[in-house]
Chain A
């Protein structure tokens, strides 16, 4: 013997039902509505569905405002004048990938990257190798080898990089499904170009206070168009 529950009106979607207050219906099918609202609650809490072929990276942290998802195998270029926040933005890419438990590498030919900023951005140091003192003539070779082994490479491009080398690196990144984030001039096309345009510092007065944070104005240029956003420059993990 089976019992049937008769719903008071047509249920169109889960969302529709969850909005309907239970008390409004004259004869509330208590158990089922409760279960359904739980299902809706769970569905809302979990992230968007991911098909197994889609290997894009869901970005967490402040960069999310501008780049909610990152495709693997692309080249992103971040530039801007010194002091306008381009390094911080580039490190945010690293933090997004590092938070997934993947390995990253940073190429810092001049040896000027601050390790503390790297840790503060939320990059896990155990899974991040910094390559320093790279001669300009071997730069492309080193980046190509790093792309073989890690999920993301952040590299300061040398001033006179050959376009042929750059294109070879684009192909290598696509083939290995690794992200390449370039800071500085890039003589080839890129799927994503970001420019840091500075921003006002908060917390520092005329002889008082101390630097707290700033919102970096960033301009994003993709194939779809240009977007602007403000990205908080200090972002501790979590």
Chain B
């Protein structure tokens, strides 16, 4: 197998979307941790896993963006299309990593080295600056080989893998135990007898053992999927919109995996195919470590459709047919339903209804709240479209909300530390937040607007608050606190300085913001 690893793909995708980021230190965040950083930022010590503040401290002027897997997938479609000119059998693992079998192509190009050269040349034409290519037996070994741009000769894969650390197996629980047992490298782990590994670590251990001795994760005798397992849907009228098509893709994914599950099968590789009104037909293969779940499959379908429909040089017309073909299936390992509060029937009923409402009003109209860090009540919650993973996770283990419905099942985004947000508004959350805010007037006892200077000094104390959103158009202030001054992006000349006040008028408490000398009503404690 040959594996291509495009370095820092999130950064490349972010720059493709915003050309102004070229040459500027950039980092991409997932859950306020750095996922990837550009070379400029890395040179001054911004590494992945840092908190946002630390990154900003180490590299002032760094541009930080939220990770956007769908735009990464869209940008990666260009790369996939150009590698497709060399070989038809490519498999995308996730945006940035792609692999294909080499036997045919390397014979055609005259050896592994010349194949690598051809791939690198093709990547250059696609505009990918930094990419590494590795060849080895098996996808796992090829991916490790790509890290150091190595072509491992045939049958030398076990020796190549031996010095790598067990951490690279990608199973933190297993590798943690192995490290404590003193088994630090894949070579040590591979040297253990298979029987003992299975006895101690079960099926998961067996898979890891197979990887560490240079074999595929699953034995080669994979069952061939029965022909009638293909799920397809005719789209009439033809659709040009990604969300519409993705919605159909989601139902197809649910149906396909349900039928596979009825046969006791799980899918590890799926081909997404489509046809357009102009007779074009495209297909692309996606692979997943482990088995695809409905949520992960639906996400991949969405990414792929996004790539086809929005990227230039993709499809010329609307989609008329969408098809999902299971390409590689394995016996399903089975999954245990949640023990605590796992009312599966209720969950299914609810998700069906939410899907119906999404069909009526558009997918973005049904959302769920995810807590995140921030200073104002609006900033502290992110609304995620129902059905998308609650956490941005590149391995695609998201979508935890579907199953058990357990409270705090790791899906609530972990603990959010309030201390890391100085100037955050204390106290309970207001029940109504207004975006955009209502206009308001915060006046002192002499009817002059209350202002705050650059040092945070207050011109006078608030006495009257007027706003159309308040009962009786507002009135005299009975209690107040503040100001909480927040410098947002202080290093940026366009950054704003805003000041928040708690103001109580009669029985109504509200949150008032003063910015550029103008007051607005941001929230009401209703």
Q: Which residues of B contact A114 (CB under 8 A)?
A: 377-378, 381, 429-433, 523
Q: Does B211 contact A (CB under 8 A)?
A: no
| CB-based contact B365/A204 at 8 Å | no
A145 contacts B360, C-beta separation under 8 Å: yes
The answer, among B380, B383, B409, for a CB contact under 8 Å with A126, is B409
| B462: min CB distance to chain A, Å | 9
A150 touches B350 (CB 8 A): yes
Interface check B194, CB cutoff 8 A? no
Cross-interface CB contact of B504 among A85, A115, A130, A204, cutoff 8 Å:
A204
Residue in A116, A133, A210, A233 whose beta carbon sits within 8 Å of that of B365 in the complex: A133
A28: Cβ under 8 A from any B Cβ: no
Bound state CA distance, A133 and B434, in angstroms? 14
Contact A131 B480 (CB under 8 A): no
Write the chain A residue with the least CB distance to B349: A149
Stretch at the interface among B237-245, B250-258, B366-374: B366-374
Residues of B within 8 A of A189 (CB): none
A112 touches B407 (CB 8 A): no
Q: Is there a chain A Cβ closer than 8 Å to B461's Cβ? A: yes
Within 8 A of A (CB), among B333-364: 341, 343, 346-347, 349-354, 356-357, 360-362, 364
Among B343, B349, B407, B523, chain A packs the most CB atoms within 10 A around the CB of B407
- What CA separation (Å) do A178 and B524 show in the bound complex? 29
Q: A211 near B367 (CB under 8 angstroms)?
A: no
Q: Report whether B361 and A125 are in contact in the complex, using a CB–CB cutoff of 8 Å.
A: no
Inter-chain CB contacts under 8 Å: number = 206
Segment of A18-26, A29-37, A42-50, A76-84 engaged in the interface with chain B: A76-84
Nearest CB in chain A: distance from B355 CB, A: 9
Output the nearest chain B residue to A146 by Cβ-Cβ distance: B353
* Across-interface contacts of B365 in A (CB, < 8 A): 131-134
- Which B residues are in CB contact (< 8 Å) with A126? 368, 390, 400-401, 405-407, 409, 411-412
Interface 0/1 of B394-414, CB less than 8 Å to A? 000000110001110101100
Closest residue to B386 on the A side, CB-wise? A129
Q: Report the bound CA distance from A127 to B411 in whole Å.
A: 12
Indicate if B236 sits at the interface (CB-CB under 8 A): no
Q: Contact residue range for chain B?
A: 35 or more
The reply to whether B427 and A103 form a contact with Cβ atoms under 8 Å apart is: no
Instruction: Answer whether residue B507 sits at the interface, using C-beta atoms and an 8 A cutoff.
Output: yes
From the candidates B366, B409, B507, B526, name the one contacting A86 in the complex (CB within 8 A).
B526
Contact with B along A135-168 (1 / 0, CB 8 A): 1001001100110111100000000000000000
Q: Are A198 and B350 in contact (CB under 8 A)?
A: no
- A77 and B372 CA atoms in complex are apart in Å by 32
- A90 → B minimal CB distance (Å): 9
Chain A hits for B44, CB < 8 A: none
Chain B CB within 8 A of A169 CB = no
Contact in complex: B526, A125 (CB < 8 Å): no
In this complex, the interface size class of chain A, counting residues with CB under 8 Å from chain B, is 35 or more
For B359, the closest partner residue in chain A by CB is: A145
Asked if A82 and B431 sit within 8 Å, CB to CB, the answer is no
Instruction: Report yes or no: A124 in contact with B407, Cβ–Cβ below 8 A.
Output: yes
Q: Is A68 among interface residues, defined by CB-CB distance under 8 A? A: no
Given B341, B352, B361, B502, which contacts A204 in the complex, CB threshold below 8 Å? Answer: B502
Nearest Cβ distance between residue A133 and chain B, in whole angstroms?
A: 5
Residues of A within 8 Å of B409, CB to CB, are: 126
In the assembly, what is the distance between CA of A119 and CA of B372, in Å?
Answer: 12
B228 within 8 A of A: no
Q: Which of A91, A116, A200 has the most CB of B within 10 A?
A: A116
- Chain A residue at smallest Cβ distance from B378: A114
* Residue contact A87 to B431, C-beta cutoff 8 Å: yes
For A134, the closest partner residue in chain B by CB is B361
Contact of B492 with A by CB under 8 A:
no
Closest to A198 in B: B507
Chain A residues with CB below 8 A from B508, complex form: 81-84, 198
Contacts of B354 in A (CB 8 A): 105, 129, 149
Tell me if B292 is interfacial: C-beta within 8 Å of chain A: no
Closest 3 CB pairs of A and B: A149-B353, A83-B508, A198-B507
Between A and B, 5 residue pairs with Cβ closer than 8 Å are: A138-B361, A146-B353, A149-B352, A211-B504, A234-B428
Q: 13 more A-B contacts (CB under 8 A) besides A126-B407, A146-B353, A198-B506?
A: A82-B432, A82-B470, A117-B377, A117-B428, A126-B405, A126-B409, A126-B411, A127-B405, A138-B360, A141-B360, A151-B346, A204-B481, A213-B428
